[in-house]
Amino acid sequence: MPDYMFLLESRLSPEQRAVMLRVQELSAALGFNVYLTGGTVRDLVTGASLRDLDFTVEGNPSKIAHELEKGGAKTLSEDEKFRHVEVLFAGDCEGSISGARDDHYVRPGTRPEIRWSTIMEDLRRRDFSLNAIAISLNPASRGLLLDPTNGLSDIERAEVRALTIHSFTNQPVRLLRVLRYAARMGFKIEQRTQEWFDLAIERNLQETIAPEDAGDELRALAREERPAVVLKAWEEHDLLEAVNPVLAKKHPAYEAIGRLMKVREDLFTAGFRPRLASPMLLAILGKLKGRELSNVLSKAGFRSAEAEAALGFEEEALDAQKQLVGRKMNAPVDAFHFLEKMPLDQIAYLMAESNKSAALSKIRAFLNKWRPVRNALPVVATELEALGMPRGTKFDQIVEQVFAMQLTGRGKTKEEREKILRKLSGIKEPPKKKEKENGRRRS
């Protein structure tokens, strides 16, 4: 049996590992059993990048979220009915904490009665077997894999399998979701699941997808690494109209999506882990303008603040671009500090959509030239310390001055940097020792 905890910890970033340990501590203190579930475990098993941390607790997740906020986490959204909290953890890690529950349907297609439950019941009520796997984070069973629906076997067969014949009847939005998972992972839909899918389409269940459920799929789509593949799968099955009729009529802006995907690759190469949901949403809806775009977001259940942020994103990015090419940013060091603080999704948007060469050249310099110089700045500090200058405010100022010079092409060699450092610090070169006479004086 694989060592899932070792596998998990070796795949987590330091920030994600710190979050996992903190959630374990808080759950133990509150007396809750806690598990990693859903997409986190699925991505771990399949070798995909671990984008989010999804926790399920046998208890109230709000209590954990409130404690996490004291350490710098931010609650993005909270559904008290379903005990589900979306969190931006400390360290800029995204994820969620949910309460274990069972959905009881009086009859297929009705609204479920929510019952708080154990983790095993929670896993069995889920949509697809590949999402019904958990890893225990509890002291007595840490690292134990829970797989009551045999999801691992489905992953090995590269299949997406629904857990019940009523899966699409109970939640028609799963028609969109099953295609999204299959397209994302390159999986096929399991035979019986395909039959249930076809029957649901024949019964026009796609027409009963709630707008807010379609909106959740739209949000999830914007966070996909290959959204174009998912969109084409939806279009092939005539399901895009279920997301929004206007989008289905005008079609997604595939060229804009492609440009942003290329930018994402460039950012990965530069050492970033970009989250581009906002610009990707605008790219997907790129053929919709003004009121059309606003109406789509409204019908998709976007909260007013969420919609306003999406609608104002382009204007904010263009305003930042205007500042970037202004006179105050002529010096490379000023442009560096401006871009260092600029949201990465706005930088990505400009890289994909801007035609301002001055802005793009500074962004490319920031990513590929200036940041490596910045990362090597400890070398300059070590060299200054070796000259005999103690660390302090003036010390830091000199290091920053050298950094500014390096961005203009100066101080590339150690010898050149030493001259600059001596001049800025006022530390003179030691007098050269007189060469000893060869041999002793003869008497």
Give the phi and the psi of residue 162 in degrees, each rounded to 5: -75, 155
Strand partners, 398: none
Burial of 276 (0-12, 13-18, 19+ CB in 10 A): buried
d(CA 98, CA 80): 10
Say if residues 238 and 246 touch (Cβ distance below 8 Å): no
Answer yes or no: is pLDDT of 256 > 80: yes
Q: What's the 3-state SS for the chain? A: CCCHHHHHHHHCCHHHHHHHHHHHHHHHHHCCCEEEEHHHHHHHHHCCCCCEEEEEECCCHHHHHHHHHCCCCEEEEEECCCCEEEEEECCCEEEEEEECEEEECCCCCCCCEEEECCHHHHHHCCCEHHHCCEEECCCCCCCCEECCCCHHHHHHCCEECECCCCHHHHCCCHHHHHHHHHHHHCCEECHHHHHHHHHHHHCCHHHHCCHHHHHHHHHHHHCCCCHHHHHHHHHHCCCHHHHCHHHHHHCCCHHHHHHHHHHHHHHHHCCCCCCCHHHHHHHHCCCCCCHHHHHHHHHCCCCHHHHHHHHHHHHHHHHHHHHHCCHHHCCHHHHHHHHHHCCHHHHHHHHHHCCCHHHHHHHHHHHHHHHHHHHCHHHHHHHHHHCCCCCCHHHHHHHHHHHHHHCCCCCCCHHHHHHHHHHHHCCCCCCCCCCCCCCCCCC
Model confidence pLDDT, tens digit, residues 158-211? 999 999 999 999 999 999 999 999 999 999 999 999 999 999 999 999 999 999
Identity of the residue numbered 318: L
Model confidence pLDDT, tens digit, residues 77-117? 888 888 999 999 987 788 999 999 998 887 777 788 888 99
| pLDDT, position 443 | 46
Say if residues 89 and 68 touch (Cβ distance below 8 Å): yes
Identity of the residue numbered 132: A
Residue with the two structure tokens 């997604």: 252
d(CA 356, CA 95): 36
- Band (pLDDT 50/70/90 cuts) for residue 8 is confident
Strand arrangement of the beta sheet that strand 34-37 belongs to: 74-79, 84-89, 93-99, 52-57, 34-37, 134-136, 145-146
Answer yes or no: is pLDDT of 2 > 90: no
Model confidence pLDDT, tens digit, residues 106-163? 777 778 888 899 999 999 999 999 999 999 999 989 989 999 999 999 999 999 999 9
**First-to-final CA distance of the chain:** 88
Both tokens of 181, joined, read: 């998972």
Both tokens of 370, joined, read: 């200036």
- Arithmetic mean of pLDDT, 397-407: 95
Give the phi and the psi of residue 127 in degrees, each rounded to 5: -75, -50
- Arithmetic mean of pLDDT, 260-283: 93
Both tokens of 428, joined, read: 């003179």
405 CB-near residues (< 8 Å, 6+ apart)? 411, 420
Q: What's the Rg (C-alpha) of the chain? A: 28
Model confidence pLDDT, tens digit, residues 12-44? 888 899 999 999 999 999 999 999 998 899 988
Range in 47-51, 212-216, 315-319, 389-393 the model is least confident about: 47-51
Model confidence pLDDT, tens digit, residues 287-336? 998 899 999 999 898 888 889 999 999 999 999 999 999 999 999 999 99
d(CA 248, CA 230): 14
Both tokens of 182, joined, read: 């299959």
- Arithmetic mean of pLDDT, 60-66: 94
Fold of 1-156: Beta Polymerase; domain 2 (3.30.460)
- Arithmetic mean of pLDDT, 401-409: 95
Residue with the two structure tokens 């509150």: 30
* Domain spanning 158-209, CATH class: mainly alpha
Strand partners, 113: 104
pTM assigned to the model:
0.87
d(CA 180, CA 169): 18
Domain boundaries along the sequence of the chain: 1-156, 158-209, 225-368, 376-425
| pLDDT, position 150 | 95
Model confidence pLDDT, tens digit, residues 338-385? 999 999 999 999 999 999 999 999 999 999 999 999 999 999 999 999
